Amino acid sequence: MNGQETELEPRLVKACARAGRINEDNLRRLLADNRDTVFGKKYGFGSMETSAEYRKRVPLSSYASLQPYLDRRRPRRSFSGMSRRKSTALWEARPSLTTSPCSAW
């Protein structure tokens, strides 16, 4: 844009300045929402407040090491909407293709 500031640039700069705080807030919400899951209890989500604590307490995990938790979670909601039980093991997350046991390529 020829070096000229657009209308969006000040808003973008302001939003970027808050990114760390927003991420911490989102993590705190996820930890609170999942403190009563098997995984959350194992790693003490109920007493975590920061990403630094999360990194210190929760080890990096492979898909295979999380498989027991994933096997215990509720099934995804079916198209008919019949499955509505709350997850009790691990919050739902879609593993990437690179960590899936199905990714042999």
pTM for this prediction? 0.58
Please check whether residue 93 lies inside any domain of the structure. Answer: no
Question: For residue range 7-43, what is the model confidence (pLDDT) as tens digits?
Answer: 778 888 888 889 999 999 999 999 999 899 889 999 9
Please check whether residue 58 lies inside any domain of the structure. Answer: yes
Nearest CA among 70, 45, 69 for reference residue 57:
45
Three state DSSP letters for 10-77: HHHHHHHHCHHHHHHHHHHHHHHHCCCCHHHHHHCHHHCCCHHHHHHHCCCCCHHHHHHHHHHCCCCC
pLDDT, mean over the chain = 75
Confidence band (pLDDT; 50, 70, 90) for 100? very low
Note down the domain range covering 22.
8-72
Please check whether residue 82 lies inside any domain of the structure. Answer: no
Nearest CA among 102, 100, 37 for reference residue 73:
37
Q: How many domains does the chain have?
A: 1
Confidence band (pLDDT; 50, 70, 90) for 48? very high
